[in-house]
């Protein structure tokens, strides 16, 4: 498997200071980066590819997001966003869209502020999953995989949205966020073992169980993730399963969203992962 770093910690610096950011990522020892379309845009793929090549990196995935309910209310909006990402990825060796379905525009107080009731309705969940499946099938015709990136709301209602994708969206793969899954009470290693044919891309996070159990909202949970190796997640087991399932082709992407904006955090995390992998 390949080890990547998520550029979200540096927000729009990836667009404004692209070369400087990639130069620093190369020093971390990672093999690639994940970049969000909301920060970098979807117009300068050739420019990005040239710089990635210069610094011996690959684009692991391009992150795109939309409201879950847009799959029912405005599917064309989702199709257009995915279509632009598909076009962007044509020059890249890894054609991975990392797709997030948002529960609401501002999820910071989820679930206390409540969400659209359709996200708790099995029939609506099946329809939304079916629509995303059609979009994924079309992207696949261009060699692009849609990998669904979970947060916490997919595991509400006994995993209603997550399982809707498992059962009703066979063309959709997963960019399993191990920290959000574990923080929601779902063992990511178990999910990887149960669905090995659907997951070849993960996000790596860590947290302290006793602190996470006190959190009630999305924002509180997001603030309580810690650097890899500083929490309680069983990375010996998790990385063993990832290594076994992914072989040489999958991606394990370290994601830091909060805390000190510092490349050294990623350098330490890459070393931590490599040390466990042996």
User: What digits encode the pLDDT tens for the residues 8-62?
Assistant: 999 999 999 999 999 999 999 999 999 999 999 999 999 999 999 999 999 999 9
Supply the pLDDT for residue 113: 78
What's the pTM value of the predicted model, to 2 decimals?
0.97
Residue 59, SS3 per DSSP: strand
List residues bridging with 146 in a β-sheet.
97
pLDDT > 90? residue 248: no
Q: Which long-range contacts (CB under 8 A, 24 or more apart) does 118-121 make?
A: 118/69, 118/72, 119/68, 119/69, 119/153, 119/156, 119/160, 119/161, 120/156, 120/157, 120/160
At 234, phi and psi to the nearest 5?
A: -85, 85
Q: What is the CATH number of the domain that holds 125?
A: 3.20.20.150
Cα-Cα-Cα-Cα dihedral sign, residues 214, 240, 171, 204: positive
pLDDT of residue 42: 98
> How many domains is the chain partitioned into structurally?
1
Q: What average pLDDT does this structure show over 160-164?
A: 99
Report the alpha-carbon distance of residue 256 to residue 214 in Å, rounded. Answer: 21
pLDDT, the chain, mean: 97
Task: Tell me the pLDDT tens digit for each residue of 188-239.
Answer: 999 999 999 999 999 999 999 999 999 999 999 999 999 999 999 999 999 9
Q: Which residues pair with 5 in a beta bridge?
A: 33, 254
Cβ neighbors of 186 (< 8 A, separation 6 or more) are: 155, 159, 162
* Adjacent-strand bridge partners of 2: 251
Q: pLDDT at position 247, please?
A: 87
Helix (H, G, I), strand (E, B) or coil at 61: strand
Tell me, what's the pLDDT at 191? 99
> Could you tell me the residue range of the domain that residue 166 belongs to?
2-277
Q: Kindly report, residue by residue over 136-147, the tens digit of the pLDDT.
A: 999 999 999 999
């Amino acid at each position: 498997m390949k080890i990547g770093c998520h550029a979200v910690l540096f927000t729009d610096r990836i667009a404004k200071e692209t070369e400087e950011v990639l130069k620093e990522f190369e020093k971390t020892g990672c093999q690639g980066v994940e970049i969000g379309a909301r920060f970098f845009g979807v117009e300068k793929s050739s420019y990005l590819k040239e710089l990635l090549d210069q610094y011996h990196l690959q684009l692991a995935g391009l992150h795109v997001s939309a409201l879950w309910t847009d799959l029912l209310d405005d599917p064309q909006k989702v199709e257009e966003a995915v279509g632009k990402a598909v076009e962007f990825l044509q020059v890249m060796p890894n054609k991975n869209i990392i797709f997030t379905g948002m529960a609401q525009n501002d999820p910071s107080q989820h679930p206390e502020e409540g969400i659209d009731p359709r996200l708790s309705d099995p029939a609506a969940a099946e329809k939304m999953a079916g629509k995303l499946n059609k979009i994924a099938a079309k992207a696949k015709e261009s060699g692009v995989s849609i990998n669904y990136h979970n947060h916490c709301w997919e595991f509400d209602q006994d995993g209603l949205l997550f399982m809707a994708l498992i059962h009703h969206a066979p063309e959709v793969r997963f960019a399993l966020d191990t920290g959000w899954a574990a923080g929601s009470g779902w063992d990511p290693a178990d999910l990887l073992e149960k669905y090995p044919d659907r997951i070849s891309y993960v996000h790596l996070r860590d947290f302290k169980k006793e602190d996470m159990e006190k959190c009630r909202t999305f924002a509180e949970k997001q603030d309580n993730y810690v650097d890899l190796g500083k929490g309680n997640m069983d990375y010996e087991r998790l990385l063993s399963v990832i290594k076994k399932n992914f072989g040489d082709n999958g991606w394990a992407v370290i994601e830091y969203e909060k805390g000190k904006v510092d490349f050294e955090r990623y350098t330490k995390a890459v070393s931590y992962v490599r040390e466990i992998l042996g």
